[in-house]
Amino acid sequence: MINLIKPILFATSLISGSGLFAYALDVQKEQSAIQGVSLEPSPTGVLVVPPPRAVKISEPAPPTVEPAALEIEPVVIQAPAKYRAKPAVLPAKTEEAATSPCSGWRELGPQFVTGDKLTGTHQVRQLCD
């Protein structure tokens, strides 16, 4: 008996669904017949309105203004007197200082290490004072 219920329920659902679909089509067909819907364009339904005439408005021409350059005085910003740095006094350069180095060489250690042998010395120049 339980095995028989499923096919009956399926058939009932199928028949009722098909009937509702047919009823919806019939109602739609009647609605369109009542309203008299037609796909042909109606000549009275379209009204073409011509655009209004252009109205001429007379306005005075805008005045011509030449670009003007605004000149202002330069702005100088100075620190208060207690924060101003004194101008640095540069020593006079001599020709000897430019041609001779101001410091010597310093040795850092061996330049090459091969096995137990140390060869060469690695040197750098000290910075000038």
**What DSSP assignment string belongs to 70-128?**
---PPP-----GGGPPPPP-PPPP-HHHHHS-SS-EEEEEEEEEETTEEEEEEEEEPPP
Can you tell me whether residue 23 is helix, strand or coil?
helix
Residue 95 in contact with residue 76, Cβ under 8 Å? no
Q: Give residue-wise pLDDT tens across range 21-36.
A: 999 988 887 766 566 6
What is the spatial distance between Cα 112 and Cα 122, in angstroms, rounded to a whole number? Answer: 9
Q: Are 107 and 123 in contact (CB under 8 A)?
A: yes
Confidence of residue 50 (pLDDT cuts 50, 70, 90): confident
How does the average pLDDT of the chain come out, rounded? 79
State in Å, rounded, how far the first CA of the chain is from the last one.
Answer: 113
More confident residue, 128 or 1: 128
DSSP H helix total and E strand total for the chain: 2, 2
Please compute the mean of the pLDDT values over residues 55-63 and round it to a whole number.
82
- Cα–Cα distance measured from residue 94 to residue 100, given in angstroms and rounded to the nearest whole number: 11
